[in-house]
Every structure is written in C-alpha cells, then in structure tokens.
Amino acid sequence: MRQPIVVKIGSSSLTSDEGGLNRDQIRFFAAEIARLAREAAPVLLVTSGAVAAGFRSIGYKERPKTLHEKQAAAAVGQALLMQAYHEAFAAHGLSVAQILLTRPDFANRKRMNNALMTIEELLKHSVVPIINENDTVSVDELKFGDNDTLSALVANLVKAERLVIVTDTDGLYTDDPRRNAAAERIPRVGSIGEELFRMAGGAGSSVGTGGMRSKVEAARIATRGGIPVFVGRVNDSGDLLAAAAGSGKGTYFDTQQGNLPMKKQWIGFHSQPAGFIVVDAGAEQALVSGGKSLLPAGIRETDGDFHSGDIVAVRGPAGNEIGRGVVNYASWQIRAVAGLTTDEVRKRIDVPRIEVIHRDEWMTRTP
C-alpha cells in the first residue's frame, strides 16, 4: 500500500461566510477525496469547521471569541460536521472515522504511537480517518492554534506521501493579491525563510483561524520531516488529484529531507520544553549546520527548572529558537559550567556525559 496523502480543508471551504455547513461543498470534497483514494493513495482528512458549523445552531450571531463559547459551538458543530461527512462519503461507498486530537496527544509518545496504530488500522480497512482538534476540551495554551499545524504534525506522524492544504487562494503570492495587482504567485518554494513569512501576511477569513502565514508554518514543519506540501485551491473536479500529482493550482513546497524517526518528531514538533538555553554564535553554527553536539563552552545562559532527560529549547544569540533537544544536565548544573571548557567542567561537576545535548537527541528548527 502506498503511503497516505494528508488533505487539510479549512472552515472557509466548508461553511458559508455567515457560518453553518455548506453541504454542496462537503459533497464536492468527498467526491474529490474518494477519487484520490481510488486512483492514487489512501487519504487522511484533517478538517476544520466544527466551531463554524455549530455556532449558528446555538444562537450566536457571529463566530464566538471566548473559550467556553467556542467549546460549546464545537460540541454542537462536531456532530453536524461528522454527519455531513458520513452521508457524503457513503455515496462513494466509503466509511469514515472520527479522530479528535489535542496537543498533549502528540507530546506523549505512547499516546502518539496509539494514534498512529489506530490510523494505520483504519486505512488497512479502507476507512477515511477524519481528524480534527478536540476543541471541546482543549484550552488555549494547549491548542495547536489552527488545523494547518495539526495537518503537518499528522503528515509527519504517518510519513505521508504529500500534504495537501486546501485554501481559497491559488497559492502563495509575493504580496496580498487582493490589495496589490502586481503581486505574483510563487509556483515553487525550495526553502522557507523569514522573507517567505513576510510575504504570507496575516489572518485568514472570518470563519477560520489560519491565514497564509499559518500554512507556510505548516509547510515548514512538514518539509522539515521530509513531507512535500501543496498549498492552493481545489474548486473543480479533478483538482485534488492534480494537486497530489504535482500539477495543482497553487504553490508546491519541496523538501530534500528524509522522513524523521518518531523520536526526532517528538523532540522537534510535539514536546513541551521545560526551559531554554541561549548559545553563542559558534555553538549555533555547530548545531544548525555542523551536525555537532552542544557543549558547555558554547552556552551563554539558561532559564527554567529542568532535569536530565527533559526537553529544552535552544535559542541563538539573537533570541530566536534554533531547535530542541534532550538535555543531559540539570538546569543548576548548566548555570555552574556555562562557558567553561570540557576540562573545567569535569573539575566542577560530575555528569555521565560531557555533551549538554547530544547530536542524536537534537532537532533543528530551521529547514
């Protein structure tokens, strides 16, 4: 069986501007996904739309803003959304399964592995897994932020053949085409840097949470894990198949990376850092480009109360996070030896290994 393709569809593609499900759109996407599954590869669907589908039924006049209102709308809307998907996919002889995830599901390696086994079993039986964030129980500090991020994490988890993010524009432009007629579409992206995020701009639609910037961030996560990404429009029959095949209406994000082992995924994308370490320019270069371990000599400062075996974030001298890793020192030990040579460290403290973070337990943030 081929590796699956992950398709992410946002709220703006599934609902009306005023809220509520657009059944015609759901039937269209079900037909596109059924065709893709039949002619190309198994498909996982990451869907938004629960809050947008439910807030009108509760009686809210506009998309709610407070957490408890969103959770109530999601509780109603999730059932409506799954019912619509069930009916739409049944017309093509396909069953669907609901999988609701939260960030702690990915932060815990056992739960992450359980989710993977469930997905693989569903795909084995030709069931379409429909994945959404569990908005009813998520709290703001534990949320993915938007389902673009969730789709990238899922794509890495299942080692997808491709991630297809469906949006209401035909890809990434050099500027906002709604305001600048001279803006040009970018058909292909080889690497993702700060200039690309600037081009991506800000927020999305009134019924969704993710704009183009969040899609570029999702592409960064997915491509870092070896998953190529398409971001663009799917509005005509055959568009989804074309997007997966490399000829879609949008922007393709290429990757030269290989698929990440589960442990590296957990370190880089799913873990919650217990603190952070700031390193000098030489250590940053060694970690990001040199494939080296982090030694005490390259550390400037540290923050947080952590212990050996915890995940810590590492920041460069400019303050930007450059990666994460499993630390071999407690925070107090790092404070005692930061900036010292290996010989000086051994005289001051007793640690099982001299590397603060070994390269085998390090994950660079940048592509």
Q: What are the residue boundaries of the structural domains of the chain, listed by start?
A: 5-263, 273-364
Pick the more confident residue, 39 or 179. Answer: 39
Alpha-carbon distance of 220 to 228, in angstroms, equals 10
249 in helix, strand or coil? strand
**Sheet of 357-364, strands arranged across:** 299-303, 276-279, 311-315, 321-327, 357-364
Residue 141 has pLDDT above 50, yes or no: no
11, 149, 129: which is closest to 70 by C-alpha?
11
222, 217, 220, 233: which is closest to 167 by C-alpha?
233
Distances in Å between the Cα of 255 and the Cα atoms of 45, 147, 162, 193, 226 are 22, 21, 11, 13, 6
Residue recorded with tokens 């396909």: 94
Residue 255 has pLDDT above 60, yes or no: yes
Distances in Å between the Cα of 5 and the Cα atoms of 60, 131, 157 are 36, 13, 12
pLDDT of residue 89: 98
Query: What is the average pLDDT score of the chain?
Result: 88
Residue 105 has pLDDT above 70, yes or no: yes
- Tokens at residue 5, please? 């393709």
Residue 132 has pLDDT above 80, yes or no: yes
Alpha carbon of residue 239 to chain centroid = 23
212, 196 Cβ separation under 8 angstroms = no
Residue 1 has pLDDT above 50, yes or no: yes
Alpha-carbon distance of 113 to 107, in angstroms, equals 11
Could you report the per-residue pLDDT of 183-236, keeping only the tens digit for each?
A: 889 999 988 877 888 777 754 444 333 478 889 989 988 998 899 999 999 999
Q: Give the range among 13-27, 260-274, 288-302, 353-367 with minimum mean pLDDT.
A: 260-274
96, 119 Cβ separation under 8 angstroms = no
Q: In 188-256, which ranges are continuous DSSP H helix?
A: 194-200, 212-224, 239-245
Alpha carbon of residue 35 to chain centroid = 25
Residue recorded with tokens 């071999």: 328
Given the candidates 3.40.1160.10, 3.40.190.10, 3.40.50.11060, 3.40.309.10, the CATH classification of the domain at 5-263 is 3.40.1160.10
Residue 142's pLDDT band, with cuts at 50, 70 and 90, is very low
Q: In 225-367, which ranges are continuous DSSP H helix?
A: 239-245, 262-265, 281-288, 331-337, 342-348
Residue recorded with tokens 């879609």: 248
Alpha-carbon distance of 210 to 229, in angstroms, equals 16
Given the candidates 3.40.980.10, 2.30.130.10, 3.40.50.970, 3.40.1180.10, the CATH classification of the domain at 273-364 is 2.30.130.10
- Common-topology check for domains 5-263 and 273-364: no
Residue 326's pLDDT band, with cuts at 50, 70 and 90, is very high
Residues near 148 by beta carbon (within 8 Å), at least 6 away in sequence: 8, 10, 165, 210, 214, 215, 217, 218
- Tokens at residue 24, please? 């015609």
**Which is it for the CA torsion 325, 330, 336, 341, positive or negative?**
negative
pLDDT of residue 139: 54
Alpha-carbon distance of 98 to 45, in angstroms, equals 10
Q: What is the mean pLDDT of residues 296-308?
A: 96
| Beta pairing partners, 313 | 276, 324
Residue 366's pLDDT band, with cuts at 50, 70 and 90, is low
pTM comes to 0.82
Give phi and psi for 105, each to the nearest 5: -65, -35
Residue 2 has pLDDT above 80, yes or no: yes
Q: What is the mean pLDDT of residues 263-289?
A: 90
